[in-house]
Amino acid sequence: MKSVVIQQPEVLVIEDRPVPQPQAGEVRLRVESAGICGSDVHIYRGHNPFAKYPRVIGHEFFGRIDAVGEGVDASRVGQRVVGDPVVSCGHCYPCSVGRPNVCTSLQVIGVHRDGGFSEYITLPAKNAHIVPDSIPDREATMIEPFTIAANICSQMNPGPLDVALVYGAGPMGLTSIQALRGVYGVKEIIVADRIDERLAMAKENGADRVINNTDIDLTAELAKLGIRPTLIIDAACHPSILPEAIGLASPAARIGIMGFSSDPCVINQQGITSKELSIYSSRLNSNRFPMVIDWMKSKKIHPEKLITHQFDYAQVIEAMEIFEKDPKFCCKVLLKF
Ligand code: NAI
Ligand code: MN
Ligand code: ZN
């Protein structure tokens, strides 16, 4: 089989590898399509501290089960499924309280173990979620990115009284905007980004108002407009954003962050406690696949709006380069396998 392997930082090769055999409790997928994510590029460029090389990348993948390991119901062969990249132990403290995404021995498919940019992949049977026939292949490939939005939103519990501010209109911001609009029905969504083309996408994905904050002070601009956000999602993840968000938030607001920068930022207790703000963080997803499959089935979200490109896997280098260099016109890139 062909697999997209990062042999070491900056070295991407399409390798011939033996088709893996599913172990006990596992299924094997014939992968049909996969999505490129920023973290795939980070592994390619050597910027992911968790990655070990060589590594088959890809954690957003859809396909059909073509074999099962011992103990797995053979009737699963032929199912259309999407893979949850979160592989957890099931018995540590976070696993026991329903948070396998931060399992103490977490293995992320495509990061810690070989991923979905491959003609075949094996994974635990419970990580392979059935996709209803009403959800087309391309949309099914988008389930994982929406689980990130589902995870942060499930924690923050948005509602009709919320004035939401989303920082960043990349794939993560856009999936969050779609969820806030189509699932949670918040009152208003304001989006800040540095790129006008991305802000235009934010509008197409459900934002009411967009602000390019390249040259303006967002705090002053929102004050001028009389807007006090009650729910803030940081999907841009620059360390300067949390302090700013604390300052411009409404009393009793919730702030959700999902960045991985190790750079410090300065915040103070008074800024948080005086308004009794809640600060959430969110990593990957904790069993949110069924939720997102439901959202797609009931057409509450519109994954096609994010897909700007599709390539054959043989063109993966070109696909990664467009994804990296063209944020104005490129959002989600799919690979066909
Ligand atoms: P992206 O790079 O495509 O989008 C980020 C957007 O933020 C860009 O459009 C950029 O112009 C904008 N931006 C940058 N600085 C800004 C600022 N100061 N104010 C307003 N906008 C600003 O990235 P993507 O894929 O949407 O991911 C966003 C972030 O989420 C990344 O940092 C990524 O590491 C993180 N992430 C976290 C996950 C988690 O589970 N916690 C999962 C996936 C991504
Ligand atoms: Mn991803
Ligand atoms: Zn665990």
Ligand 1 lined by 41 (C-beta under 6 Å) = no
Strands 80-83, 128-130: pairing kind:
antiparallel
Q: Comparing 2-130+302-336 with 149-281, is the CATH topology the same?
A: no
Alpha-helix residue ranges (DSSP H) falling in 157-217: 171-182, 196-204
CATH class of 149-281: alpha beta
Give me the residue spans of the domains in the chain. Answer: 2-130+302-336, 149-281
Q: Is 252 exposed, middle or buried (0-12, 13-18, 19+ CB in 10 A)?
A: exposed
Dihedral angle computed from the Cα positions of residues 176, 180, 181 and 187, in that order, rounded to the nearest 10 degrees: -140
What does the pLDDT look like over 251-270, one tens digit per residue? 999 999 999 999 999 999 99
Distance from the alpha carbon of residue 249 to the mean position of ligand 2, in angstroms: 28
CA dihedral 96, 235, 331, 46 (to 10 degrees): -70
Q: What burial class does residue 144 get, using C-beta atoms within 10 Å of its C-beta: 0-12 exposed, 13-18 middle, 19+ buried?
A: buried
Pocket test for ligand 1, best of 165, 258, 286 (most atoms within 8 A of CB): 258
Query: Which CATH architecture is the domain 2-130+302-336 placed in?
Result: Alpha-Beta Complex (3.90)
54-113 tens-digit pLDDT: 999 999 999 999 999 999 999 999 999 999 999 999 999 999 999 999 999 999 999 999
- Res 50: pLDDT: 83
Round the average pLDDT of the chain to a whole number and report it: 98
State residue 124's pLDDT score: 98
Residue 149, pLDDT > 90, answer: yes
Is ligand 1 within 6 A of the CB of residue 212? no
Any ligand 1 atom below 6 A from CB of 35: no
- Total residue count of the chain as it appears in this document: 337
Residue identified by tokens 């904790």 is 286
Dihedral sign, Cα of residue 171, residue 172, residue 178, residue 179: positive
Answer yes or no: is pLDDT of 322 > 90. yes
Task: Please tell me the distance from the alpha carbon of residue 74 to that of residue 65, in angstroms, as a whole number.
Answer: 10
> Band of the pLDDT at 49, cuts 50, 70, 90?
confident
The pLDDT of residue 267 is 97
Pocket test for ligand 1, best of 50, 193, 324 (most atoms within 8 A of CB): 193
d(CA 122, CA 225): 52
Confidence of residue 289 (pLDDT cuts 50, 70, 90): very high
Report the range of poorest mean pLDDT among 43-47, 48-52, 93-97, 305-309.
48-52
Reduced to 3 states (helix: H, G, I; strand: E, B; else coil), residue 296 is helix
Closest residue to atom 27 of ligand 1, CA basis: 172
| Range 220-226 contact pairs with CB under 8 angstroms and sequence separation of 24 or more | 222/165, 222/190, 222/248, 223/248
Ligand nearest, relative to CA of residue 42: 1
Beta bridge partners of 68: 27
Indicate if the pLDDT at residue 13 is higher than 90.
Answer: yes
Distance CA 196, CA 188 (A): 20
User: What are the pLDDT digits (tens) for 165-212?
Assistant: 999 999 999 999 999 999 999 999 999 999 999 999 999 999 999 999
Comparison of pLDDT for 128 and 50, the residue scoring more: 128
SS3 321: helix
Which of 111, 237, 260, 279, when mutated, tests ligand 1's pocket best, judged by the most ligand atoms within 8 Å of its CB? Answer: 237
The stretch 128-140 carries a mean pLDDT of: 98
Distance CA 274, CA 241 (A): 19
CA gap 152, 176 in Å, rounded: 8
Instruction: Please work out whether the CB of residue 328 comes within 6 Å of at least one atom of ligand 1.
Output: no
* Cα 237 to averaged position of ligand 1 atoms, centre (Å): 5
